[in-house]
């Protein structure tokens, strides 16, 4: 099943991209745990290399369990194809490397994932690939940043932690005219809340570690796009070796079965949480795309069918008071990452930006009293009650 326009995300999550039957009439997808594949005889080997026989060859080039993840994500995103990687960053770096060459220029929204930013701003320079950072969600600045060498625009929607959402339709209109490829890291949105390819985005990336797998127990990444683009990136994956392991693929594939259900719950809990926090006297500001107060709320409503499971907020407290609140939460666990069944909470100043001084953090908009809460699938009312009770600890 893959026809996105006729079939709901709930049904596609369960059945999308899967054959009707598996070997031995198994209902569940098997794990093909193998590093290589045998040929019946030399004639088959020759037929394969001459392109007369389609089959697997070697584990770094392909695996049926990995293929199932790729086909399911392609079905959910409504793209021709997808290719899976050992991690989200393997997907990001392999895709970018497949598209640029010495002399190319890349445009990146300044609030993109920290490691993506690091790769573009420090690593690519070694290969004479230049870049321009543009302000969050500022598509107007994109127009001005384009130079004749610009090959690629990298965006995220929503971003971390303020959840900005650039206008994807405008972004595509600008880039298509100049034949510039567009890449969106859609990890926070998931294919349930947004399908960027529908708006003409060329390349859609997910850290499958987060919502797709959904259980905080496996790393993975996926790129979805046209057959041509995916094939280009797949060839580089085979060369770089950032291939997804078959057992990890099985866990991701199994996780996606419940994706639409989990996202429905996480959207609802996060919306209710954001609304309650916004009313609370110990909370200064809340950033959630589903709130009318969010600067990109209108864009979110136009492009997304749900607003996601992450709520970011600033407390009326200092660094220590904010830590006391985080420590007082009994349900959310303190950990990096997001998107799993367990709620996770963190103080970005002490997690992703620990090495920076208070002044350096302020300069990039990360305040000491900022909290990121990624809601899981626990009971909505119990989670809200737990977080509200913990706010008392900020005093
Ligand atoms: C976590 C994350 C990544 C990196 O994914 P890994 O699976 O940890 O390599 C990339 N982009 C976003 C938005 C993420 O949240």
Whether the predicted pLDDT of 48 surpasses 90? yes
Q: Is the CB of 207 under 6 A from ligand 1?
A: yes
The pLDDT, as a whole number, for residue 395 is 81
Q: What is the mean pLDDT of the chain?
A: 96
Which residues are CB-contacts of 385 (< 8 A; sequence separation ≥ 6)? none
The pLDDT, as a whole number, for residue 353 is 84
Confidence category of residue 5, pLDDT binned at 50, 70, 90: low
Q: Is the CB of 180 under 6 A from ligand 1?
A: no
The pLDDT, as a whole number, for residue 394 is 86
Q: Is the CB of 94 under 6 A from ligand 1?
A: no
Q: CATH topology for 9-256?
A: 3.40.640
Q: Is the CB of 185 under 6 A from ligand 1?
A: yes
The pLDDT, as a whole number, for residue 2 is 47
DSSP, res 182:
E
210: CA distance to ligand 1 center in Å? Answer: 7
221: CA distance to ligand 1 center in Å? Answer: 8
Would you kindly state where each structural domain of the chain is located, as residue ranges?
A: 9-256, 259-394
Domains 9-256 and 259-394 are alike in CATH topology: no
Percent of the chain with pLDDT over 90: 94
Q: CATH topology for 259-394?
A: 3.90.1150
DSSP, res 244:
P
Test site for ligand 1: of 184, 209, 222, most ligand atoms within 8 A of the Cβ: 209
Whether the predicted pLDDT of 137 surpasses 50? yes
Whether the predicted pLDDT of 1 surpasses 60? no
DSSP-assigned beta bridge partners for residue 353: none
Q: How far apart are CA 275 and CA 311, in angstroms?
A: 10
Q: Is the CB of 219 under 6 A from ligand 1?
A: yes
Whether the predicted pLDDT of 3 surpasses 80? no
User: What pLDDT digit, counting tens, does each position of 52-96 carry?
Assistant: 999 999 999 999 999 999 999 999 999 999 999 999 999 999 999
Q: How far apart are CA 248 and CA 68, in angstroms?
A: 12
Q: Is the CB of 210 under 6 A from ligand 1?
A: yes
Q: Whose CA is nearest to atom 8 of ligand 1?
A: 88
252: CA distance to ligand 1 center in Å? Answer: 15
Whether the predicted pLDDT of 4 surpasses 70? no
């Amino acid at each position: 099943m893959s026809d996105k326009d006729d079939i709901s995300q709930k049904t596609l999550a369960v059945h999308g991209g899967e054959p009707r039957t598996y070997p031995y009439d198994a209902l569940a997808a098997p794990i093909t745990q193998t590093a290589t594949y045998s040929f019946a005889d030399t004639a088959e080997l020759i037929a394969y290399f001459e392109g007369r026989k389609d089959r697997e060859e070697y584990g770094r080039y392909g695996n049926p369990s990995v293929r199932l993840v790729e086909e399911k994500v392609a079905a959910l995103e409504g793209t021709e194809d997808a290719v899976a990687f050992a991690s989200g960053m393997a997907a990001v770096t392999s895709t970018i490397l497949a598209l640029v060459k010495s002399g190319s220029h890349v445009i990146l929204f300044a609030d993109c994932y920290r490691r993506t930013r690091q790769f573009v701003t420090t690593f690519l320079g070694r290969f004479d690939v230049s870049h321009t950072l543009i302000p969050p969600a500022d598509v107007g600045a994109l127009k001005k940043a384009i130079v004749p060498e610009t090959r690629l625009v990298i965006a995220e929607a929503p971003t971390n932690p303020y959840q900005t959402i650039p206008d994807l339709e405008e972004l595509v209109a600008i880039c298509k005219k100049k034949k510039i490829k567009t890449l969106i890291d859609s990890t926070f949105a998931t294919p349930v809340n947004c399908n960027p390819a529908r708006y003409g985005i060329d390349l859609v990336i997910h850290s499958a570690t987060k919502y797709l797998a959904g259980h905080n127990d496996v790393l993975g990444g996926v790129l979805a796009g046209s057959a041509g683009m995916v094939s280009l990136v797949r060839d580089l994956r085979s060369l770089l070796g950032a291939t997804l392991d078959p057992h990890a693929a099985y866990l991701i594939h199994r996780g996606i079965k419940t994706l639409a259900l989990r996202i429905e719950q996480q959207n609802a809990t996060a919306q209710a949480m954001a609304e309650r926090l916004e009313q609370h006297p110990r909370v200064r500001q809340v950033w959630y795309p589903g709130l009318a107060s969010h600067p990109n709320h209108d864009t979110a409503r136009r492009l997304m069918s749900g607003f996601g499971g992450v709520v970011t907020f600033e407390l009326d407290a200092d660094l220590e008071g904010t830590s006391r609140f985080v420590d007082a939460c009994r349900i959310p666990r303190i950990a990096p990452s997001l998107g799993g069944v367990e709620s996770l909470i963190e103080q970005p100043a002490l997690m992703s930006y620990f090495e920076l001084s208070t002044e350096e953090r302020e300069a990039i908009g990360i305040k000491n009293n900022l909290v990121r809460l990624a809601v899981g699938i626990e009971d909505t009312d119990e989670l809200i009650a737990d977080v509200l009770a913990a706010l008392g600890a900020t005093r």
